[in-house]
Amino acid sequence: MKALSPFAGLAVAEIDRRLAGPGLRWRSGPFVIQLRARNIPRLGEQLAFLYAAHPVIDPPWEEVADTHLDLIRSGGWRRWWRAQAIMEEDGARPLQPFPLDHALPLFEWGWNFIIASRGNRYLMLHTAALSPDGERALILPGLPGSGKSTLAAALALRGWRLLSDEFALVRPEDGRVMPLARPVALKNSSIGVIRDFDPKAEFGPLFPKTRKGTVAHLKPPPASVAAMDRSCRPAWVVAPRFESGAGASLQPMAPEAAFLMIAANAFNYEVQGELGFQAVARIVRNCTIHTLTFGDLSEAVALLAELVAS
Amino acid sequence: MTTPPADGHALLAVLREPGSYAAWSVTGRDGLLRLARRHGLLGTLAERLVADGLWEALPRREREILTGSRRVAAENARLLTWEVGRIRRAFFGSGIPVTLLKGCAYHLAALPMARGRMAADVDILVDWEDLPLVEKLLGQHGWRHVKVDPYDQLYYRQWMHELPPMRHWERGREVDIHHTILPRTSRLKPKARDLLQASVAARPDDPGIRVLAPTDMLLHAMTHLFYDSDFEGQLRNLVDIDALLRHFASQPGFWEGLWSRAEGLDLALPCHYGLRYCARLMETPIPAYLLARSNRGAPPAPVAMVMDRLVPRGLVPAALGNPPALASRLAGWLLYVRSHWLRMPLGLLFGHLLRKSRKRIRGHVWDRRAV
């Protein structure tokens, strides 16, 4: 194996050069991406900050990439006036263009979209996942707005290993969760909540007025990135529900209800067929399962620390 | 070391000889995988590598990528089987069999070439006289028309070979109800009743689900590609035809029967093209006597010369990332014009295009979308 240089070891000018030329290739968890982007201001610098600890893969490449993405600057009259960033994958354009200065959120959502539609080697749960000890995983399923990303960010800032804020990648054969230590996308008020929770939290730029409101990306903890090849065994499932003013409390959940919740929450439960059924059954059998109502982040974090210690 | 481009010809060569995949450089394999995905051939490539015992030797990341495509294709096959069962249930007691066409037929007949192959919709063939009943039965069982515009409805019913597609309200799957295999306005007039009469049970233990007889299945695939498409993005259909020919070649009398059936169904021209270009582009082992005989269906020499130049350019894509050469774009345009020329008489075509473009200009296209 070749030695890999982290993003942080590359000058921004070199990142830009690769983006504009053959492509910048790096890996997060099991997925290798090759990104090309030409004439998109600041993207190289933003990636260098958020992915600082990720390994960049230098050419000549010894493996194929999972994904080849191009970010293209719009042409014609849109080249200068209300310029847009367009995402292209192998000649197809699966997402609507974004304003040019929102190229980073476009990239992050674009990569999520590609993983959700292509990562079918895994049972993909639409959940955050973290590990308190590097071996056991806590899975946080929840609808948008349930506070799972906020909770994931808070736990990561308290020293939990971030496995993912968006995907729990379950290997159907052995039920283990593969990490994908990408930046955590936070929206609207949760950005301020996390800033208040930990003033040392490192955020990328604020992107106002995206389709999902204001978005900012939290840099993943370097230790989580360094450990992103080590899978974890699911041990707890906690379905969070943010409720303004509520005290933090855990309620046990019946396994049959948990099974349906997890299966319905997966991106590709049906695709996995019998493997998917077995994988969800294994999670339900082996995990302690609760719902968590919370109104205060610190209380929720303390309660989860208690749960995993017991 | 110079690497040859991972273009459509390279992909066809690897599908033909999966053993040659490993000889490609990493960059080459990367390009082949991407091109295969773009053309709906990734699952097919995966299954061919598996069938030839090459799976375990694949580099780990490639195996992971292909594992994903195999799982998706397996899920697609399950869904198709389920959907066909639902259609059969809707037809229950009516005496109308479910006769499947295209990808769905390959799957339900469990042809080896169907492994890894995706099919979006279910295509069925029914007798013209049964159409009103079929439409009613599907309507009673939850299928709804997708095209709600009166002109679209009229367009399909008057000129096409199928009814406007119907979609199940809950499952979202579409069924295309064909009453023949070429537009009613087409210059060739194969008789659907002949196809239905010769149809066979998809599996020996179940006479209620039928597929076209081997020769007819091929002639339909050939007609679809070489007489009713513009070749753009149709590489997979060529791969299908090649695979069907290779599969049925072992049946006694298959080759002899193919040509006489083509002539009998008025499909000599598409059959000629199908055999000719499969032999040229896929090296399909077609008996020499049949290739010679099928020249009886060839177009006039000047047309044949032009087609020999256009078809490979229009059908076989360049490597990804390389914009198509001007000659390929021109070929694509000419083939597009040809496909419409074959579909309907000029007067009708002109009226149709005028109508379509007027609608487009009025900007109602988005408002009228039913999805």
Q: Does residue B34 lie within any of the structural domains?
A: no
Which of B26, B38, B71 lies at the smallest CB-CB distance from A63?
B26
Cα-based angle B14, B16, B19 (whole degrees, multiple of 5): 55
CA B253 to centroid of chain Cα atoms: 25
Domain edge (last residue) among A102, A118, A134: A118
- Indicate the pLDDT class of residue B332, thresholds 50, 70 and 90: confident
Termini Cα distance of chain A: 41
> What is residue A283's predicted lDDT score, i.e. its pLDDT?
97
- Among residues A26, A69, A29, the alpha carbon closest in space to that of A51 is found at A26
Residues of B with a Cβ under 8 Å from any A Cβ are 26-27, 29-30, 33-35, 37-38, 59, 61-62, 64-65, 67-69, 71-72, 74-75, 78, 320
- Model confidence at A93, pLDDT cuts 50, 70, 90, reads very high
**Residues from chain A contacting residue B40 (CB–CB below 8 Å):** none
Q: Do B71 and A273 lie within an 8 Å CB cutoff?
A: yes
Asked if B128 and B140 sit in the same domain, the reply is yes
Upstream peptide bond of A144 is cis (omega within 30 degrees of 0): no
CA distance B370 to B172: 12
**Chain A partners of B65 at a C-beta cutoff of 8 Å?**
64, 66, 118, 121
Question: Taking CB atoms and an 8 Å cutoff, what residues of chain B touch A22?
Answer: none
Q: Determine whether the interchain pair B72/A272 forms a contact, defined as Cβ–Cβ distance below 8 Å.
A: no
B208 and B232 together in one domain: no
Name the residue in chain A with its Cα closest to that of B30: A64
How many angstroms separate the CA atoms of A23 and A19, rounded? 5
Residue B325 banded pLDDT, cuts 50, 70, 90: confident
Q: B14, B27, B75: which to substitute to probe chain A, counting the most A Cβ within 10 Å?
A: B75
Segment A264-308, tens digit of pLDDT: 999 999 999 999 999 999 999 999 999 999 999 999 999 999 999
Rounded to whole angstroms, the Cα distance separating A288 from A258 reads: 10
Contact A66 B65 (CB under 8 A): yes
Same-domain check for residues B266 and B306: yes
Instruction: State the average pLDDT over residues B217-238.
Output: 92
Chain A interface disruption, residue of B14, B27, B64, most A CBs within 10 A: B64
Tell me whether strands B206-211 and B98-101 are parallel, antiparallel or unpaired: parallel
Same domain, A189 and A109: no
B82 falls within a domain = yes
Q: What angle do CA B56, B8, B63 make, to 5 degrees?
A: 20
Say if the Cβ atoms of B26 and A62 lie within 8 Å: yes
CB contact under 8 A, A271 and B71: yes
Q: Decide: helix, strand or coil at residue A186.
A: strand
> Once rounded to an integer, what is the mean pLDDT over residues B162-173?
92
Inter-chain residue contact B75 with A90, CB threshold 8 Å: no
On the question of pLDDT at A32 being above 50, the answer is: yes
pLDDT at A286: 96
Task: List the single best residue of A271, A272, A274 to mutate versus B (max B Cβ within 10 A).
Answer: A271
In a domain, B20, yes or no: no
CB-CB contact of A85 with A39 (8 Å): no
In this predicted structure, what is the pLDDT of residue B359? 54
Please name the member of B64, B69, B320 whose beta carbon is closest to the beta carbon of A91: B320
pLDDT band at A91 (very low <50, low <70, confident <90, very high): confident
Looking at the fold, whether A34 and A177 belong to one and the same domain comes out as no
Clarify whether residues B183 and B280 are in a common domain: no
Q: Which of B212, B234, B263 is the last residue of a domain?
A: B212
A77 and A171 in a common domain: no
A143 and A280 part of one domain = yes
Kindly report the average pLDDT of chain B as a whole number: 90
- Chain B residues near residue A91 by CB distance under 8 angstroms: 38, 320
Residue entry with tokens 């049970």: B201
Structural domain of residue B364, as residue ranges?
A: 214-371
Whether B93 and B139 share a structural domain:
yes
Q: Are residues B167 and B291 in the same domain?
A: no
Q: Are residues B181 and B219 in the same domain?
A: no
Q: Are residues B160 and B223 in the same domain?
A: no
User: CB-based contact (8 Å) between A204 and chain B?
Assistant: no
Same domain for B166 and B104: yes
- Predicted local confidence at residue B360, as pLDDT: 47
A254 in the same domain as A199: yes
Unique residue bearing structure tokens 């933003």: A46
Tell if the CB–CB gap between B34 and A118 is shorter than 8 Å. no
Main-chain dihedrals φ then ψ at residue A27, nearest 5 degrees: -130, 140
Mean pLDDT along residues B88-94: 95
Residue A263 shares a structural domain with residue A203: yes
Res. A97 pLDDT band, cuts 50 70 90: very high
Q: Is residue B27 part of a domain?
A: no
Whether residues A200 and A275 fall in one domain: yes
Quick check: A32 and B61 CB within 8 A? yes
Nearest CA in chain A to B69: A120
Question: How far apart, in whole angstroms, are the C-alpha atoms of residue A278 and residue A271?
Answer: 13
Say yes or no: A136 and A66 in one domain: no
The answer to whether residue B40 sits within a structural domain is no
- Based on the domain organization, do A184 and A271 belong to the same domain? yes
Q: Which residue has the higher pLDDT, B354 or A34?
A: A34
Selected residues 248-277 of chain A with any CB under 8 Å from a CB in chain B: 270-273, 275
What radius of gyration do chain A's Cα atoms show?
19
Q: What is the mean pLDDT of residues A117-131?
A: 96
Q: Which of A100, A118, A136 is the last residue of a domain?
A: A118
Separation in Å, CA of B187 to nearest CA in chain A: 35
Residues B247, B312 share a domain: yes
Q: Please tell me the predicted confidence (pLDDT) of residue B364.
A: 38
For residue A93, the chain B residue with the least C-alpha distance is B38
With contact defined as beta carbons under 8 Å apart, do B191 and B265 qualify? yes
Same domain? For A131 and A239 the reply is yes
Q: What is the mean pLDDT of chain A?
A: 94
Whether residue A53 is found in the same domain as residue A192: no
Which of B147, B181, B212 marks a domain boundary? Answer: B212
Residues A119, B33: C-beta atoms closer than 8 Å: no
The reply to whether B218 and B119 lie within a common domain is no
Domain boundary among A89, A118, A147: A118
Distance CA B106, CA B102 (A): 6
Quick check: B147 pLDDT over 50? yes
A32 close to B (CB below 8 A): yes
Contact A121 B75 (CB under 8 A): no
A44 touches chain B (CB under 8 A): no
Q: What domain range is A17 assigned to?
A: 5-118
Say yes or no for a CB contact (<8 Å) between A272 and B62. no
Task: Let me know if residue B31 belongs to a domain.
Answer: no
Number of separate domains in chain B = 2
Is some CB atom of chain B closer than 8 A to the CB atom of A173? no
* CATH number of the domain that residue B139 is part of: 3.30.460
Q: Report CA-CA distances (Å) from A234 to A30, A176, B33, B46.
A: 18, 7, 33, 31
Mutate to test the interface with A, among B61, B67, B171, B322 (most CBs of A within 10 A): B61
pLDDT digits (tens, 9 = 90+) for A107-118: 999 999 999 999
Q: Do A271 and B30 touch (CB under 8 A)?
A: no
What is the rounded distance in angstroms from the CA atom of residue B59 to the CA atom of residue B57? Answer: 7
Residues in contact with B75: Cβ distance below 8 Å, sequence separation at least 6, in sequence order: A270, A271, A272, A273
Residues B286 and B252 in one domain: yes
**Is B33 part of any domain?**
no
In a domain, B114, yes or no: yes
Chain B CB within 8 Å of residue A68 CB: yes
Same-domain pairing of A243 and A305: yes
- Given B180, B212, B244, which residue is the final one in a domain? B212
* DSSP run (H or E) holding A173: none
More confident residue, B342 or A181: A181
Domains: count for chain A: 2
- Is residue A98 classed as helix, strand or coil in its secondary structure? strand
Residue A178 has pLDDT above 80, yes or no: yes
